[in-house]
Amino acid sequence: MADNTGTADIQEHAGTAGEDGVRRRDFINIAAVGAAGIGGIATLVPLISQMAPSADVLAESSTEIDISAIKPGQAIKGVFRKQPVFIRNLTTEEIAKANAVDVSSLRDPQSLEERTKPGKENWLITMGVCTHLGCVPLGAGEGEVKGEFGGYYCPCHGSVYDTAARIRKGPAPKNLEVPVYEFSSDTVVKIG
């Protein structure tokens, strides 16, 4: 009896010690992982703040473009943050064509009004980067093919954009992107 009790006591003791040991190890592991996590965050913060562009870099990354020479029906190609940007002065006919489309039938539903500034619906300003795989569509340069919807045509895989630069045919999933911009005056647009 005494032996049995003694053994039981020892086992119980060993069990308790073992569980405590495990718990302590778990705690040490958790504490170590926790510390590593905090270390990771502490390392990330300076990295992220280093990656954020400073105010002067951001200012440099906006572009001012004189649009006074662009006649209705003409377009120019500019550069914004090292990428092509199209600035197009739509004719009354091109505006009417864009507005005649049932927006809900579009792959990327947007009206011309939503893609331009109030009172300046003739100025269509978009990135010149196809939303499929990034080629530069045709249609902004003198005599370039505009495609069957009269806007832009991407020769890489045949995406066709309309007079509001909305995707109408081909593999591109989205309309040509409208960048952030504002009119500095009637003849100058600031992009970015």
Judged by CB under 6 A, the residue of 65, 67, 87, 172 near ligand FES is 172
Judged by CB under 6 A, the residue of 88, 97, 132, 168 near ligand FES is 132
**Shorter beta-carbon distance to ligand FES: residue 67 or 139:** 139
Segment lying near ligand FES (by CB under 6 A), choices 5-13, 85-93, 117-125, 168-176: 168-176
Look up 132 and say whether it is catalytic.
no
Alpha-carbon distance of 80 to 13, in angstroms, equals 74
Applying CB under 6 A, does 171 fall inside the site for ligand FES?
Answer: yes
Judged by CB under 6 A, the residue of 156, 179, 190, 192 near ligand FES is 156
Alpha-carbon distance of 154 to 147, in angstroms, equals 8
Q: Do residues 167 and 177 lie in contact, with contact meaning Cβ atoms separated by under 8 Å?
A: no
Judged by CB under 6 A, the residue of 67, 130, 140, 167 near ligand FES is 130
**Shorter beta-carbon distance to ligand FES: residue 125 or 154:** 154
Beta-carbon contacts of residue 165 (< 8 Å; ≥ 6 apart):
86, 88, 115, 124, 126, 151, 152, 175, 176, 178
Catalytic residue among 157, 174, 184, 187: 157
Judged by CB under 6 A, the residue of 135, 138, 169, 177 near ligand FES is 135
Catalog residues that contact ligand FES under the rule CB under 6 A. Answer: 130, 132-135, 154, 156-159, 170-172
Give me the active site residues, please.
157
